[in-house]
Amino acid sequence: MLSIIITAWEEPNSTKECLERFLEQKTSEKYEVWVTCPDEPTKKVVMEYKKKYPNVINFLHQPREVGKNSILNLLFEKARGNIIIMTDGDVFVEEGCINEICKCFDDSNVGAVSGRPLPTNPRNDMLGYWSHLLTYGAHEIRKKLFSEGKFIECSGYVWAIRRGIIKEMPLDVAEDSITPYLIWKKGYKIAYAPNAIAYTKFPTNIKDWINQKIRTAKAHEKINFYMNDDKKIKVKSFSNEALYGLKLAFSFANSPKEFFWTLLLLPFRLYVWVIYFYETKMLKTHYGDIWTRVKSTRALD
């Protein structure tokens, strides 16, 4: 049995689409769906689906002061599935996503699986192009590391774990990086399912883009504390981005305009890392288990 966990936040229309995408999946696997959110409009949508599918849909209220990692820990206790698939209310899985993830777990040595996010943003403007470039780079890195049997960080847009390996995740670090690492440390493999595709919208204005990237960097910062002597396997870092990312970036552009946008990405990424280092090293402000919403990433709300 599978347990599908959807964490949502003030996005009723997107959550409806997210639920529809899972309910339309053609799979022989039995599954339950858990949805959590703090707001009434999204809850109303979930409860309407619960009336239609009372044996499938479950709801858990999330107090606004409770962060994502905290609510996931609560849901780990309630989930009945041997495999737990996690996503957000504004993420829309493609047909076959569940089956692609489940195939990876046929290997009993696999403890976690990452799916592949793709942007819904058009590629014909700068920020849209950046979303395609960066998700392509993440795909290439995961594919390479998985083929070499190395540790990979999962994508929080769609990922899964084998139940019972990790009962509770820390609250001060990104859930999609620390949980796979703790599973990997127990001797399990982290798999990549590139055909388990999930679509999501990325920021459409530069302020939201910068804030999202700084928050992501902070969310992965604390993994150093848990890694101890394994820091060299950390995937998301300034050095990795500078060395490996640049090579991918310049091979991705298909036109002079896209090449120019690639060049523009470099100073903006450098700016993000400078702000990140300043805020974490000088101001001592770090990631907390608090949900923050990037308004321009709302797909349907």
Tokens 């703090």 belong to residue: 38
CATH 3.40.50.2300 for domain 2-293, yes or no, is no
Residues 226, 129: Cα–Cα separation, whole Å: 34
pLDDT of residue 74 exceeding 60, the answer is: yes
Predicted confidence at residue 272, as pLDDT, reads 87
Q: Can you spell out the DSSP letters for 138-154? A: HHHHHHHHHHTT---PP
pLDDT one-digit tens code per residue, 47-60: 999 999 999 999 99
pLDDT one-digit tens code per residue, 134-147: 999 899 989 999 99
Runs of H (alpha helix) within 186-240 = 206-221, 223-227, 238-240
Strand ordering across the sheet containing 158-162? 57-61, 31-37, 2-7, 83-88, 158-162, 110-119, 189-200, 92-93
pLDDT of residue 259 exceeding 70, the answer is: yes
Q: What burial class does residue 147 get, using C-beta atoms within 10 Å of its C-beta: 0-12 exposed, 13-18 middle, 19+ buried?
A: exposed
High-pLDDT (> 70) share of the chain, %: 86
pLDDT-based confidence at 263, cuts 50/70/90?
Answer: confident
pLDDT one-digit tens code per residue, 179-195: 998 999 999 999 999 99
Number of CB atoms found within 10 A of residue 243's CB: 10
Predicted confidence at residue 289, as pLDDT, reads 46
pLDDT one-digit tens code per residue, 272-297: 888 877 777 776 665 554 555 666 67
3-state secondary structure of 86: strand
More confident site: 215 or 220: 215
Predicted confidence at residue 158, as pLDDT, reads 97
Q: Can you spell out the DSSP letters for 19-54? A: HHHHHT---SS-EEEEEEESSHHHHHHHHHHHHH-T
Task: Let me know how long the chain is.
Answer: 301
Which residues, in sequence order, are CB contacts of 87 under 8 Å at separation 6+? Answer: 4, 5, 6, 7, 18, 93, 157, 158, 159, 198
Cβ–Cβ < 8 Å for 119, 202:
yes
3-state secondary structure of 6: strand
Residues 248, 256: Cα–Cα separation, whole Å: 16
Question: What sign does the CA torsion over 125, 126, 131, 134 have?
Answer: positive
Mean predicted confidence (pLDDT) in 227-256: 66
Number of CB atoms found within 10 A of residue 158's CB: 30
